[in-house]
């Protein structure tokens, strides 16, 4: 092999090595960017709803969602829905889609008066009147006789459009003690 030929072969090896090094560096940068993007991704709100409904044994289209909200601080979706006489609440990890916490609660829709109390139906009517709706316009998610600060109260919750209404009503007098309205 002549000197010129050895020099050409050496140059080829040098350039091939340089090209190979550049390709490896670019692939490494692309992989790093892909990993960073994947780490910052979260599942969609629709996917979180599907996960919750499926866990409860339903199709997403067969339940009435009352809340689906992304909690940035906890990086989770808060999902609430109603099916039949039950209210379901889920906290779903927004990155992995894993259920962090869930709860199923029976909704009591009693129209009976409870002794000396105004009754659940009257408490519902009071809440609806104050909110300016009738029963056909809302979805009740909670109607419960409870004790708060030693007093019997009705906890009335319902949703309409993208809002959740929560009322605390004195069970004896019918006086509204607290109102909370949240956008869901």
pLDDT at 6: 65
Question: CA end-to-end span of the chain, whole Å?
Answer: 79
What is the per-residue pLDDT across 166-181, written as a single tens digit (0 to 9) for each? 999 999 999 999 999 9
- Which band of pLDDT confidence, cut at 50, 70 and 90, is reported for residue 66? confident
Of the listed ranges 15-24, 121-130, 149-158, 161-170, the least confidently predicted one is 15-24
Please enumerate in sequence order all residues whose Cβ is within 8 A of that of 82, keeping only pairs 6 or more positions apart, or say none: 63, 64, 66, 88, 107, 139, 141
Tokens 């199709």 correspond to: 59
Is 10 a residue whose pLDDT tops 70? no
What is the per-residue pLDDT across 71-116, written as a single tens digit (0 to 9) for each? 999 999 999 988 888 889 999 999 999 999 988 887 765 545 456 8
Query: How large a percentage of the chain has pLDDT more than 90?
Result: 52
Is 8 a residue whose pLDDT tops 70? no
Is 37 a residue whose pLDDT tops 60? no
Quick check: 142 and 152 in contact, CB under 8 A? Answer: no
Q: What is the DSSP string of 147-167?
A: EETTEEEEEEEEEETTEEEEE
Quick check: 157 and 141 in contact, CB under 8 A? Answer: yes
User: For 20, left (φ over 0), alpha (ψ -120 to 50), or beta?
Assistant: alpha
């Amino acid at each position: 092999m002549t000197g010129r030929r050895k020099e050409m072969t050496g140059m080829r090896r040098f350039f091939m090595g340089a090209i190979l090094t550049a390709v490896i560096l670019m692939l490494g940068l692309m992989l790093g960017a892909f990993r960073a993007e994947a780490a910052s991704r979260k599942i969609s709100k629709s996917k979180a709803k599907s996960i919750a409904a499926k866990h409860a044994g339903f199709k997403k289209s067969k339940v009435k969602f009352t809340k689906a909200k992304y909690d940035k601080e906890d990086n989770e979706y808060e999902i609430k829905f109603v099916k039949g006489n039950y209210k379901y609440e889920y906290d779903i990890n927004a990155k992995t889609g894993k259920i962090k916490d869930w709860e199923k609660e029976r909704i009591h829709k009693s129209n009976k008066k409870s002794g000396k109390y105004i009754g659940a139906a009257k408490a519902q009517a009071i809440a609806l009147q104050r909110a300016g709706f009738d029963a056909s316009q809302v979805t009740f998610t909670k109607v419960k006789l409870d004790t708060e600060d030693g007093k019997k109260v009705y906890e009335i919750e319902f949703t309409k459009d993208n809002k959740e209404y929560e009322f605390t009503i004195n069970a004896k007098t019918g006086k509204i003690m607290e109102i909370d309205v949240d956008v869901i």
